[in-house]
Amino acid sequence: MLVLVRFLKIAIGTCGDLETLTNEALYASLVANETPLSEGLEVLVHRLRPIIFNIARDYRSILSWDDSDALQEARILLWQLVIKHRYKPGAPFHTFFSRCYRNRLNNLYRDYLLRNPVRCGSVTLGWEGHQPIIVGVVKFNSDYVERYRAAQSVRNRRLYEKRRAAAGKKPREVLTGDQKAARKELARKRAAERALSWQRENREAYNRRQAEIRREKAAGTFVDRRRKGAAV
Instruction: Answer yes or no: is 62 within a domain.
Output: yes
Instruction: Answer yes or no: is 165 within a domain.
Output: no
Residue at a domain's end among 119, 146, 174: 119
Tens digit of each residue's pLDDT, the chain (232 residues) = 333 334 333 343 445 577 778 888 888 888 888 888 888 889 999 999 999 999 888 787 777 778 888 899 999 999 988 888 888 888 889 899 999 999 988 888 877 766 665 555 554 545 555 565 554 444 445 566 677 778 878 888 888 888 888 888 877 777 788 888 898 999 999 999 998 888 888 888 888 888 888 888 888 888 777 665 444 4
Closest CA to 13 of 44, 39, 31: 39
Same domain, 196 and 95: no
Domain count, the chain: 2
Instruction: Answer yes or no: is 184 within a domain.
Output: no
Same domain, 14 and 95: yes
**Dist. CA 70–CA 53, nearest whole Å:** 7
**Dist. CA 77–CA 68, nearest whole Å:** 14
Same domain, 105 and 200: no
Sequence-distant (6+) residues with CB within 8 A of 142 are 118
Instruction: Answer yes or no: is 212 within a domain.
Output: yes
Residue at a domain's end among 60, 93, 119: 119
Q: Residue 149, exposed/middle/buried by CB under 10 A (0-12, 13-18, 19+)?
A: middle
Phi, psi of 168 (to 5 degrees): 80, 20
For 207, the domain range is 191-232
Residue at a domain's end among 103, 119, 135: 119
